[in-house]
Amino acid sequence: MGIRIIIAGDICPIGRNRDLFRRGDAAALLNDLRPDFAGADLRIVNLEGPLLRGNSPLPKVGPSLGSPRECVEGLKAIGVDLVGLANNHLMDHGPEGLRSTVRTLKEYGIDCVGAGPNLEAAREIRIREIGGVRIGLLAVAEREFGIAGRSTPGVNPLDLIDLVRNIRSRRRDFDLLIVLLHGGNQFYPYPRPGLRDTCRFIIEEGADIVLCQHSHCAGCREDYQGGLILYGQGDFLFDRSEHSEKWDTGLLLKIEVRGGGDFKADLIPFLQLPDSGGARRMDAVEEGAFLGDFDRRSAEILIPGFLEAEFEKFCRGLQRYYLNTLHGRSSLLRKVAGRLGMLYYLDRPKICRERLNLIRCESHREALLELLGRGEARKDYREGLNDGG
């Protein structure tokens, strides 16, 4: 028998789960999933947001997440060994939130990957040797808020040139490489075409498993050139006031690694419990329906042209949000402001942050290119500009 690894999706100790994490109540958090965690040699999760002593959110787009540092008791109780920190919420409370998180995890003997005081630290590949097998772990995030710089703290950005150099420089140090990729379009169960190409390329360059998180829903899988790509794992323990089937269902990835890095992967479907908090395994009926949909999507992404057509449909549904966010003031006002050197003062800071995020983030940018570059959307956009809409 080889070593066993279990990887869960986004964990955010808020809502009904917060007190369970504070108390370290593993039974209430995991229910009948406890044996799966207890039987693993390495347990990995994505921590969506920092562990804090205070509350000092920074200006950004979307909610600012964070949890009291005492919530680390729950991570320890369920046996977490390593936490992925490369995500769009880790820096919601600035550098002190990052420092507090890393310090707290270290105090409890929990390792982390994907963030640090500078880019060099954030990009480090963690190596865990278990039973003579060396497991490499690399975490990256699409560019939203909190990306690390050469001398500034933050999370490791999805930079394919750097990622390839990083993998090549450490290739002899691991037998199996797992890449946690925080990206994708929220509530969209398929990979955008660019994300599929990115994940395939990462496998081609030496990764064995690429695990996409962030989309808040379970997606589909692809077995590619001997590697595994999971396009959307779904949230694991992430409570919110409005629940939905997409939000509350997800997958644990259970990996058995044998000598030499050969591996076998199994999926464990689960449900978050909106009334009590925590999660549980799906029963046989729930699992059958869930995996039926999952397998259908996994087959669909292999159909030529399917992803492109599906992504175009998805983008059309978001057309109003994207184009309204990009739309500027009247051309006359901009001319006057330009002459006075006041263009940056025309829009509220929040709007400027939203525009920056749409252009900087890979998933948002691909959606914009889809909308602005296709016939019907382009026609509607031009007519809207001509009408002053």
pLDDT in tens, 215-243: 999 999 999 999 999 999 999 999 976 76
Note whether 295 and 335 are same-domain residues. Answer: no
Taken in order 259, 264, 265, 268, is the CA torsion positive or negative? negative
Please give the tally of structural domains in the chain. 2
- Any residues with CB less than 8 A from the CB of 188 and at least 6 apart, and which? 215, 217, 219, 314
- 67 occurs within a structural domain: yes
pLDDT in tens, 322-357: 777 776 655 566 566 666 666 556 667 887 788 888
Note whether 176 and 249 are same-domain residues. Answer: yes
- 311 occurs within a structural domain: no
First to last CA, the chain: 64
Could you give the angle at which helices 306-317 and 319-326 cross, rounded to 10 degrees? 60
Q: List the domain range (segments joined by +) for residue 108.
A: 3-305
pLDDT in tens, 51-68: 998 778 888 778 899 999
- 110 occurs within a structural domain: yes
What are the respective helix, strand and coil percentages of the chain, to the nearest 5?
40, 25, 35
Q: What is the DSSP string of 291-351?
A: HHHHHHHHHHTTSTTHHHHHHHHHHHHTHHHHHHHH----HHHHHHHHHTT-GGGSS-HHH
Note whether 197 and 327 are same-domain residues. Answer: no
Indicate the range of 95-104, 187-196, 252-261 predicted with least confidence: 252-261
- Any residues with CB less than 8 A from the CB of 154 and at least 6 apart, and which? 90, 91, 98, 115, 119, 122, 146, 147, 148
Q: How far, in Å, are 14, 239, 249 from residue 25 at the CA level?
A: 14, 16, 21
Task: Compute the distance between CA of residue 326 and CA of residue 282 in angstroms, rounded to an integer.
Answer: 42
Which pLDDT belongs to residue 148? 97
Neighbouring C-beta atoms of residue 238, cutoff 10 Å: 24
Note whether 190 and 332 are same-domain residues. Answer: no
- 131 occurs within a structural domain: yes
Note whether 216 and 338 are same-domain residues. Answer: no
Note whether 269 and 378 are same-domain residues. Answer: no
- 313 occurs within a structural domain: no
Classify residue 77 as left (phi > 0), alpha (psi -120 to 50) or beta: alpha
Where does a domain end: 255, 270, 305? 305
| pLDDT > 50? residue 385 | no
Which pLDDT belongs to residue 356? 82
Where does a domain end: 273, 305, 337? 305
Q: What is the mean predicted confidence (pLDDT) over 157-169?
A: 97
pLDDT bin (cut points 50, 70, 90) of residue 106 is: very high
What phi and psi values does residue 372 have, to the nearest 5 degrees?
-80, -15
Which pLDDT belongs to residue 332? 65
CA angle 45/51/53 to nearest 5° reads 165
pLDDT bin (cut points 50, 70, 90) of residue 375 is: very low
Q: What percent of the chain has pLDDT over 90?
A: 73
> 351 versus 156: which is more confidently predicted?
156
Q: How far, in Å, are 178, 179, 262 from residue 228 at the CA level?
A: 10, 11, 12
> 84 versus 315: which is more confidently predicted?
84
Indicate the range of 139-143, 246-250, 326-330 predicted with least confidence: 326-330
| pLDDT > 60? residue 35 | yes
Identity of the amino acid at 91: M
Which pLDDT belongs to residue 140? 98
Q: What is the mean predicted confidence (pLDDT) over 78-93?
A: 97
Going by C-alpha positions, the residue among 84, 78, 74 that lies closest to residue 35 is: 78
- Any residues with CB less than 8 A from the CB of 139 and at least 6 apart, and which? 84, 85, 86, 113, 114, 115, 155, 156, 179, 180, 182
Given a contact cutoff of 8 angstroms between Cβ atoms, the answer to whether 202 and 161 are in contact is: no
E strand or H helix at 135: strand 133-141
pLDDT bin (cut points 50, 70, 90) of residue 11 is: very high
Q: What is the mean predicted confidence (pLDDT) over 263-291?
A: 96
pLDDT in tens, 194-218: 999 999 999 999 999 999 999 999 9
Q: How far, in Å, are 31, 79, 207, 275, 366 from residue 272 at the CA level?
A: 11, 19, 30, 9, 31
Task: Compute the distance between CA of residue 217 and CA of residue 161 in angstroms, rounded to an integer.
Answer: 28
Q: Cα 238 from chain centroid?
A: 13
| pLDDT > 70? residue 80 | yes
Q: Supply the CATH number for residue 264's domain.
A: 3.60.21.10
Note whether 293 and 334 are same-domain residues. Answer: no
Strands 126-130 and 227-233: unpaired
- 310 occurs within a structural domain: no
177 DSSP 8-state letter: E
Q: What is the mean predicted confidence (pLDDT) over 75-95?
A: 97
Q: What is the mean predicted confidence (pLDDT) over 65-94?
A: 97
Note whether 365 and 274 are same-domain residues. Answer: no
Which pLDDT belongs to residue 212? 98
Q: What is the mean predicted confidence (pLDDT) over 301-328?
A: 86
pLDDT in tens, 167-176: 999 999 999 9
Where does a domain end: 284, 305, 326? 305
- 357 occurs within a structural domain: yes
Which pLDDT belongs to residue 327? 65
Note whether 46 and 79 are same-domain residues. Answer: yes
Which pLDDT belongs to residue 122? 98
Q: Buried b vs exposed e over 28-66: b needs ≥16 C-beta within 10 Å?
A: bbbbebeebbeebbbbbbbbbbbbbeeeeeeebbeebbb
Instruction: Please tell me the pTM assigned to this model.
Output: 0.87
Q: What is the mean predicted confidence (pLDDT) over 154-170?
A: 97
Note whether 8 and 114 are same-domain residues. Answer: yes
- 340 occurs within a structural domain: yes
Note whether 330 and 231 are same-domain residues. Answer: no
Note whether 300 and 352 are same-domain residues. Answer: no
